[in-house]
Amino acid sequence: MPDFSETRDLVRNYVMARVPIVVIRSFERGRSLKLLNSIAGELKQMPFTVHTRTEGLKQMPSGIVVSDEKSLAMAMDFASDQLKRTDYANFVFADVDDVEDESPTSRHLAEIARLAEQRSGTLILISEKPVWSGLSRLGMSATLDLPTPDELMFTLNETIEMYRGQVQIEWQRDEVRAASEILAGVTETEALNVIATMLAKGRLENSDLHALSEYKDRIFGDLAGLERVKLRDEYKVGGLRNLRDWLANRAELIVADFSSTALKPPKGILLVGVPGCGKSLSAKAIAVEWKLPLYRLDMSAILGMYVGQSESRLKEALETADRVAPCVLWIDEIEKALASGGDSGTSRRLVGQFLYWLQESTSRVFMVATANDIASLPPELTRKGRFDEIFFVDLPDRDDREEILRLYFTSKTKYDLPPDLCSRLVDVTDGFSGAEIDAVVNDIAVAMFRTHQTAMYPDDTVLEFFRNTLPFSRSNPEDLADIRAWGQTRAIPAGTPQASTVTSEHTGRRIVVM
């Protein structure tokens, strides 16, 4: 991705080569004009005239008004007249519309470009979108990408230093660098607006870094294919110690400064395993723990009815995720959209698009993908290197069940389990998933609320709630065995790896997995 200086040098070379038309693709008109002002200041022997709808025609870089006529049609006529009389003239059009396809405006500009070619002149168009091929083929194009973290760091630091001494500012170089990494993907103007808003409160504290993601989210609003998930502090995961330890070791890497190294931020993880054991909850818990926004990639919204529509939507959604980074991107049940053996090529093309993004993206997007039927995923998606790691989420063991029980009883009933009852509940919930324990505790809390119960039910009554629940492990032992057969040999255990035993009262079989 070329930075500002590289794009400036490229456009300068086009102008020096007297290319008749130069198209600068950019979302930032002001930053593009700053680039051209710099070139005009260097090439003083060549006249530069710029047209904007707000200020009419002005000389660059002096800003002297040539004409206060603000219409584009009049500006194009002025350029034609000047090119007939003057060699080496340069005209910049900052506000051009209706040039994506063949139109009266694009044809008129093409005629001016041909005249410019005869008189060694250059037309420079600033456009957010591609221009008509009949126009673009007359010249060259350059893309001014959004500012890099290094450019943002320089801009932010320049602004912050203006107010140091007037406003209480704790930020130093490391904090400004972290802020520039977080704001990567926004325009220079948007970044300055965020910092100015934070300075307006009269202080800039180190703790304000976490608020930058919220400001960034407000900039983007509704995102195509992405759903912002509202986070709550109670999103916590019980058990899964191996996964939690792995994540704890990488928490600081998602916002670390890798500018002087060849390292990249973490890509993400794939969670496979038994339904209801905390895969989706883990995505929410990671975002809460790391203080990052969480976005859910809705594959049902991505899939379209026309050829190429699904791939285009997926590309747009992933590019948007890059812009809102750093963030956690959650794809629930990824196998439903990327399963192998799908329809006529759409699934394969989506897989290719997704793999390319996984391989090439350098943004701080930490992906948490979950899958129940891992066997249906194409093998190229699960090979080493696609994700940082693949974890298998199994039914909770005794220690995990105790942690989960205490967590849910405390949060839902405000009741701390005594050791004896907790031990009996750990025994009776053998084979339960975390979601099933959550559901039963929720039933207890609802019953207490309806009967205005202020104290916990007797132990036998509490145990009866659980005994009346049939867990997935007992109703679908064959499915459980298939899931474990894949996960326990091809993925890292998310919990404490050990033998687990599940007894099925309904099938008369005991499934022992080592």
**Of the options 1.10.3470, 3.40.50, 3.90.1200, 3.30.2320, the CATH number for the domain spanning 4-143:** 3.40.50
pLDDT of residue 502: 43
User: What number of other Cβ atoms are within 10 A of residue 80's Cβ?
Assistant: 15
pLDDT at position 264, please?
A: 82
Pairwise pLDDT comparison (367 vs 509), residue with the higher score: 367
512 class by beta-carbon count within 10 Å (0-12 exposed, 13-18 middle, 19+ buried): exposed
Query: How many CA atoms within 13 Å lie on the side-chain side of 119?
Result: 22
pLDDT at 456 over 60: yes
pTM of the full structure? 0.66
Compute the average pLDDT of residues 283-307. Answer: 80
Report the pLDDT averaged over residues 199-214: 88
Non-local CB neighbours of 304 within 8 Å, separated by 6+ positions: 310, 312, 313
- Quote the pLDDT of residue 332: 86
- The answer to whether 93 touches 60, Cβ cutoff 8 Å, is no
CA 241 to chain centre: 27
Q: Calculate ∠ Cα 373-228-3, nearest 5°.
A: 100
Residues paired with 126 in a beta bridge: 24
- Is the pLDDT at 498 greater than 70, yes or no? no
pLDDT of 35 > 90? The answer is yes
pLDDT confidence of 514, banded at 50, 70, 90? very low
- The residue that leads in pLDDT, 481 or 384, is 481
Q: Would you say residue 27 has pLDDT above 80? A: yes
Residue burial 147-163, b: 16+ Cβ < 10 Å; e: rest: bbbebbbebbbeebeee
| Alpha-carbon span 79 to 67, nearest angstrom | 12
Let me know: does 143 contact 25? Beta carbons within 8 Å. yes
Q: How far apart are CA 470 and CA 439, in angstroms?
A: 12
Q: Quote the CA–CA distance of 502 and 102 in Å, as a whole number.
A: 69
Q: Rounded CA gap, 315 and 353, in Å?
A: 7
Predicted pLDDT of residue 505: 40
Express each pLDDT in 468-486 by its tens digit: 999 989 998 888 888 888 7
- Among candidate residues 492, 490, 493, 471, the one with its CA nearest the CA of residue 482: 490
* C-alpha of 459 from chain center: 47
| Residue range 317-344: mean pLDDT, rounded | 78
Model confidence at 386, pLDDT cuts 50, 70, 90, reads confident
- Bridge partner residues of 203 (DSSP): 168
Domain 227-393, architecture per CATH: 3-Layer(aba) Sandwich (3.40)
Query: Residue 54, SS3?
Result: coil
d(Cα 387, Cα 76) in Å, to the nearest integer? 53
User: How many of the other CB atoms lie within 10 Å of CB of 497?
Assistant: 13
> What band does 221 get if pLDDT is binned at 50, 70 and 90?
low
Q: The domain 398-469 is classified under which CATH number: 1.10.8, 2.60.40, 1.10.1060, 2.30.230? A: 1.10.8
| Residues 305-330, mean pLDDT to the nearest whole number | 80
> What is the per-residue pLDDT across 162-184, written as a single tens digit (0 to 9) for each?
999 889 999 999 999 989 988 88
Q: What is the 3-state secondary structure (H, E, C) of 172-236?
A: CHHHHHHHHHHCECECHHHHHHHHHHHHCCCEECHHHHHHHHHHHHHHHCCECCEEEECCCCCCC
Mean pLDDT along residues 107-112: 95
Average pLDDT value for residue range 263-290: 88
